[in-house]
């Protein structure tokens, strides 16, 4: 059949030519942009997935930048702490030098004190000036804030890390389950001499008194009272770490108690008779079982004397406490909870609180800390919160001495532990505590940088590589495939153009039927 009003072959050719040209434009666009998906119509599902991957990659790239910036903050902080550590070491040397009173004049000691004052001022200045991009690092602004702390129960608190997880504050419950104890030995007055001379040594005896600080030997003359023995032992209390008291101060014949000057498993008392008359069985010390508290001992009380066992050496006991359901690590009067998911801290308990079983205390962490966003999603699991405590002299080196908490500023001129006070052992104890605090803080920051930040960066970079590869497979154009498709589209477009031309020419052949 031959028609001229409708050229069906031309319509078919034109339709195919349009599809060929559309395909050609798609190939040219993909080859020019390098992307397989340039708009939603190219691949709706692939566009959704690739956009999500792009968003995740963007978050991870920023998380890597956050980790690198956090490393810079840690490096800046540690640089300042290194200077503080050097200053503390120099102060410790000056104190040790000043303690050499037999070879140091008053003028030299005053000169040392001037150097100590200058070093302490420098430490406080570093605390106030250390910063990163305007962010103060060591003035306490990045430390945790606490409320409700009973200072008589908790003398010192250091919060290393806390996770709030959407809470406004964290309640910290401390319960003592095993009291701290000193090391104690007991000497009955009835064993010291005859009943006629109760409370006095029956014969000249040499005793060896040993404790954590050292050993001293004392010669106790025949007939000396226990009151005199107490005075003799206490004269060397600083040298041995052992003191002595009468069981009943009003009764010199009540007996004697040898006790360590510190609490905990590191404290011990050893009292041995090393010289005296033959036999010497009259001198015998006793100790309590480890699980029994000393209380108010009296040899006349069967409840006390019945549990005593013979022994010339005793060891103290660390306090044990439950903190928010976790068994804390005890050391003397101090407890700590480390590497827990929600909280990491160290507490120095008051003496009365730590030595009473069942004691309870509660306080709150209300905010603060240095929060680092280490992941691509803003969730608690991808954040890390640590504390940067103040290293000012008024906050550094807190140590309980003579029942009070004393800090580094007590070593400056006019302080209770300055060189003029001659309290060299106290000053040394404060400095040792300050050096330990700085070392601990530097170690924690170093561990955070090495085990958290650096591993986090490597993990994130691996994730970015894999996600980028996945996003590329979905969105990027395959040039080999697109080039082949372009060639095909070009051929089809050319063929469709020629076919359309032929289809248009075929209608003219109808004129031959009219004899034209």
Determine the pLDDT at residue 12. Answer: 83
Determine the pLDDT at residue 280. Answer: 53
How far apart CA 253 and CA 198 sit, in angstroms, is 6
293 lies in a domain? yes
Which residue intervals of 34-158 are DSSP H helices? 44-98, 106-129
305 lies in a domain? yes
Residue 466 neighbours by CB distance under 10 Å: 11
Nearest to 445 by CA among 145, 90, 142: 142
∠ CA 284-201-297 to the nearest 5 degrees?
50
Determine the pLDDT at residue 194. Answer: 46
62 lies in a domain? no
Determine the pLDDT at residue 62. Answer: 93
Sign of the CA dihedral 200, 206, 208, 214? Answer: positive
- pLDDT tens, residue by residue, 164-198: 877 888 999 999 999 999 999 998 876 655 443 56
How far apart CA 160 and CA 396 sit, in angstroms, is 15
**Domain carrying residue 210:** 184-315
Determine the pLDDT at residue 511. Answer: 66
290 lies in a domain? yes
- pLDDT tens, residue by residue, 100-131: 988 888 899 999 999 999 999 999 999 999 99
Determine the pLDDT at residue 196. Answer: 38
List, for the chain, all residue ranges whose pLDDT scores fall below the cut of 70: 1-4, 190-198, 275-282, 291-296, 339-341, 507, 510-511, 513-516
26 lies in a domain? no
Task: Work out how many domains the chain is built from and give that number.
Answer: 1
Q: 3-state DSSP call for residue 429?
A: helix
154 lies in a domain? no
Determine the pLDDT at residue 487. Answer: 85
CA 85 to chain centre: 18
Nearest to 401 by CA among 236, 262, 277: 262
Q: 3-state DSSP call for residue 119?
A: helix
Nearest to 77 by CA among 478, 480, 448, 474: 448
Nearest to 21 by CA among 513, 490, 512, 503: 490
Is the pTM value of this prediction over 0.85? no
């Amino acid at each position: 059949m031959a028609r001229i009003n409708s050229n069906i072959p031309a319509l078919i050719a034109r339709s195919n030519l349009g599809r060929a040209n559309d395909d050609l434009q798609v190939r040219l666009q993909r080859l020019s942009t390098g992307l397989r998906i340039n708009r939603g119509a190219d691949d709706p599902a692939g566009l959704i997935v690739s956009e999500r991957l792009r968003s995740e990659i963007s978050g991870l790239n920023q998380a890597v930048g956050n980790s690198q910036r956090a490393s810079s903050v840690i490096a800046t902080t540690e640089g300042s702490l290194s200077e503080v550590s050097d200053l503390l070491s120099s102060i410790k040397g000056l104190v040790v030098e000043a303690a050499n009173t037999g070879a140091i004049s008053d003028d030299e000691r005053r000169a040392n004190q001037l150097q100590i004052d200058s070093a302490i001022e420098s430490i406080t200045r570093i605390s106030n000036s250390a910063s990163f991009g305007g962010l103060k690092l060591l003035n306490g602004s990045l430390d945790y804030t606490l409320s409700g702390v009973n200072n008589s129960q908790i003398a010192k608190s250091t919060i290393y890390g806390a996770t709030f997880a959407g809470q406004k504050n964290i309640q910290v419950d401390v319960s003592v389950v095993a009291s701290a104890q000193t090391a104690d030995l007991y000497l009955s007055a009835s064993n010291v001499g005859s009943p006629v001379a109760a409370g006095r040594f029956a014969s000249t005896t040499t005793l060896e008194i040993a404790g954590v600080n050292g050993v001293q030997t004392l010669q106790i003359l025949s007939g000396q009272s226990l009151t005199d023995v107490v005075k003799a032992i206490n004269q060397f209390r600083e040298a041995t770490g052992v003191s002595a008291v009468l069981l009943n101060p009003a009764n010199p014949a009540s007996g004697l108690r040898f006790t360590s000057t510190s609490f905990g498993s590191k404290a011990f008392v050893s009292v041995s008779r090393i010289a005296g008359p033959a036999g010497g069985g009259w001198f015998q010390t006793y100790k309590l079982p480890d699980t029994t508290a000393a209380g108010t001992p009296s040899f006349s009380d069967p409840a006390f004397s019945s549990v005593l066992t013979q022994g010339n050496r005793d060891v103290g006991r660390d306090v044990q406490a439950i903190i928010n359901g976790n068994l804390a690590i005890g050391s003397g009067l101090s407890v700590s909870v480390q590497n827990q998911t929600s909280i990491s801290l160290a507490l120095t308990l008051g003496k009365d609180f730590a030595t009473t079983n069942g004691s309870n205390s509660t306080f709150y962490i209300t905010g603060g800390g240095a929060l680092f966003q280490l992941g691509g999603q803003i969730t608690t699991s991808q954040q890390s919160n640590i504390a940067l405590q103040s290293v000012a002299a008024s906050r550094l080196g807190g140590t309980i001495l003579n029942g009070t908490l004393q800090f580094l500023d007590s070593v400056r001129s006019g302080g209770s532990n300055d060189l003029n006070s001659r309290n060299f052992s106290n000053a040394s104890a404060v400095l040792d505590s300050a050096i330990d605090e700085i070392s601990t803080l530097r170690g924690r920051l170093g561990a955070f940088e090495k085990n958290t930040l650096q591993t986090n960066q490597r993990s994130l970079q691996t994730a970015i590589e894999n996600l980028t590869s996945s996003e590329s497979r979905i969105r990027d154009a395959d040039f080999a495939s697109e080039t082949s498709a372009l060639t095909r589209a070009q051929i089809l477009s050319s063929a469709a153009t020629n076919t359309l031309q032929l289809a248009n020419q075929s209608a003219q052949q109808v004129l031959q039927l009219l004899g034209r």
